[in-house]
Structure 1
Amino acid sequence: MTDLYSTREGLGPRRDRDVITSEAWQGITALIEQWANNGSLARHFPSYECSDDRGRNTVTGTDMQMFLRAVAGHVPGLAVARQMDGFELSRSPLDPYSVPSTASVLDLIEFVARYVDKPIDATNHAWGGSHTDYTFHQGDGSDPFFDRKLPPGKAELRDKVNEIFERNGIAYVVSDTMQIQRLVPVEARLLVSEFRPSTGDAALDGLLEDAMVRFLSRKPADRQDALEKLWDAFERLKTLEGNNKAVAASKLIEDAALASEPFRKLLTDEFNLLTKVGNDFTIRHRELAKTPPPSDDARDYLFVRLASVIAVVLRHTGRMA
């Protein structure tokens, strides 16, 4: 896949939208129709239209009615009827000009990702009514011993949907597990993607890793949980050099400062401020007097600020893989 001009030149939109736009929805429905037409959905939703094959062994295309019924059953938010002149009209779940909720679109992408499977052969059958016979890999499309890559159909879905997300500034990505993940704020992407703690404390590593995973969720409740876990990790981090938290934290900061007195003072001030933030906001404590972060952006800011300090300390003290 070759990036278009504006993407290559860094002129594409900032990827900070958390809703599926009309343009993105049109692109996604076009992709699904393309996969239906080229046989990539035919393995699991087969049509048998070969007049020479009465045993229904030859797949000739995608049974769109079967596919759309399956979509309606798994993603009911796509099948909402619309009103026109007092009459209720049903519409296709893939109506390109009627944008569903973002959750429904993301569910649809993951649903299609389960079943997309590119044919390994497409042969024209000219007699008995011209049609195409499709042949598929007999396994799951990959060899677990020799091929660690995604099967071609799934890799194509990942790449093409991600390109639509990128071109439309949408802050989601299809991962290699074929699940949708939220893109973290631009300024935090490298931080989160390279955060690999190796502190020697399995519980601390687990808290940090869990916080990073939950931070990728599009659910605000998960990101709040990520924030709480990160602050719990911060408090545990202070005990790496001993059980007396104040003394141990000072020793940790001293080591992380790398003999720079100004940087030691900066880290000390940051530790003290972030400790106060954890106590004043609804992060480590649930009393009514505590203040919740006022917005998702504020929550992300607090997470990134603390994660940045923790990352520097772990790297400077040899505790980051």
Structure 2
Amino acid sequence: MNCHDDFTNSDYIAFDEKAFITRIKIRIPSLFRDEYDRICAPLHDYEYDQYALLDLIEFFAQNIEDISERWNNERYRNYQTIDCLNTSDVFENFQEAINEIFIESGLLYELTDEKIIERIVENSPLTAEIENNFAVVHEVGTRELLKDAVALYKTPNPSARQDSVEKIWDAFERLKTYYITLDKKHSSEKIVNDMAGGNDKFVDLFNDEFKMLTEIGNKYRIRHHETDKIDITDIRYYDYLFNRCLSLIALAIEYLM
């Protein structure tokens, strides 16, 4: 907020703590607060949303900026001036400190260069190369669904697992219609034939996998709104389903024309 200092006869911007707290309330409503509505560290026996803490870290990461500090007079030092700069080189130090805490705490999270926290999934088939290959997908809808699915898959909060599977299955179904000059059946056949390279054994293999994934999507509750499907009762199944579907899609993408 704007203020004026009579001693220096100059205007300055002060930290508006009240506005900051209000902003955090809006951005991260589930962040733990004490009985006085103050943001604070919860005690061990308190129930709280631990993932809200990760949201708070991301908030600071995305808003942190460099400052320059100087005294009005190096001898007397009557007052100090702090200038906010339009750079964020300090983020690297913040990122390093946060990731060190994750490592020391045994938490499989990482604050990335994009200033978001992602979970580290050990032995996952998802690689940077696979993500980069999404650019080969010229159909915008499929490409965006794949990007959204991966972002949700990497999200630390377990509640995003079903969303990631729903997105990857939507991408799978949309991929079947990739060749718009063909109907869905013949488009799928072209994708499979290109993958198999004319080898009938692999045509059968990939056809079976396409059919199996389609059957899984029809039988199990992949999408939130479907109430007549088999519930996925163990959250760990979502990673399996995601990676199975991703593996087929990733291979198919390599053969798209």
Q: Could you tell me the TM-score, scaled by structure 2's length?
A: 0.73
Answer whether contact 1:208 1:233 (CA < 8 A) is retained.
yes
Indicate which of 244, 263, 267 corresponds to 2:206: 267
Q: Looking at both structures, which has the greater relative contact order when contacts are Cα pairs under 8 Å and sequence separation is at least 6?
A: 1
1:29 corresponds to: none
Q: Does residue 1:194 correspond to 2:142, yes or no?
A: no
Gaps of 5+ in 1: 1-43, 82-89, 142-150
Indicate which of 21, 24, 33 corresponds to 1:79: 33
Q: Does residue 1:108 correspond to 2:56, yes or no?
A: yes
Going from structure 1 to structure 2, the CA distance change for 1:113 and 1:252 (only over 3 Å counts) comes to closer
What are the residue-to-residue correspondences of 1:227-246 with 2, within 5 Å? Answer: 227-241=165-179, 243-246=182-185
Indicate which of 157, 162, 165 corresponds to 1:224: 162
Q: Does residue 1:182 correspond to 2:123, yes or no?
A: no
Indicate which of 184, 209, 212 corresponds to 2:147: 209
Counterparts of 1:252 and 1:169, CA distance in 2: 42
Going from structure 1 to structure 2, the CA distance change for 1:163 and 1:205 (only over 3 Å counts) comes to same
1:153 corresponds to: 90
Question: 1:298 Cα shift?
Answer: 0.8
Counterparts of 2:210 and 2:58, CA distance in 1: 41
Answer whether contact 1:207 1:233 (CA < 8 A) is retained.
yes
Q: Does residue 1:171 correspond to 2:108, yes or no?
A: yes
Deviations 1:125-172 (A, max 9, x none): 45367x8x354355x12xxxxxxxxx2122322232123223333233
Question: 1:248 Cα shift?
Answer: 3.1
Q: Could you tell me the TM-score, scaled by structure 1's length?
A: 0.60
Counterparts of 2:221 and 2:110, CA distance in 1: 30
- Indicate the SS of the match to 1:136: strand
Deviations 1:24-63 (A, max 9, x none): xxxxxxxxxxxxxxxxxxxx9x9x9xxx95446799xx98
1:30 corresponds to: none
CA RMSD in angstroms comes to: 3.9
Answer whether contact 1:183 1:189 (CA < 8 A) is retained.
no
Question: 1:119 Cα shift?
Answer: 2.9
1:147 corresponds to: none
Answer whether contact 1:197 1:314 (CA < 8 A) is retained.
no
Answer whether contact 1:197 1:208 (CA < 8 A) is retained.
no
Answer whether contact 2:145 2:168 (CA < 8 A) is retained.
yes
Question: 1:221 Cα shift?
Answer: 5.2
Gaps of 5+ in 2: none
The count of residues paired between Structure 1 and Structure 2 equals 246
Deviates more, 1:303-312 or 1:152-161: 152-161
- Indicate the SS of the match to 2:110: strand
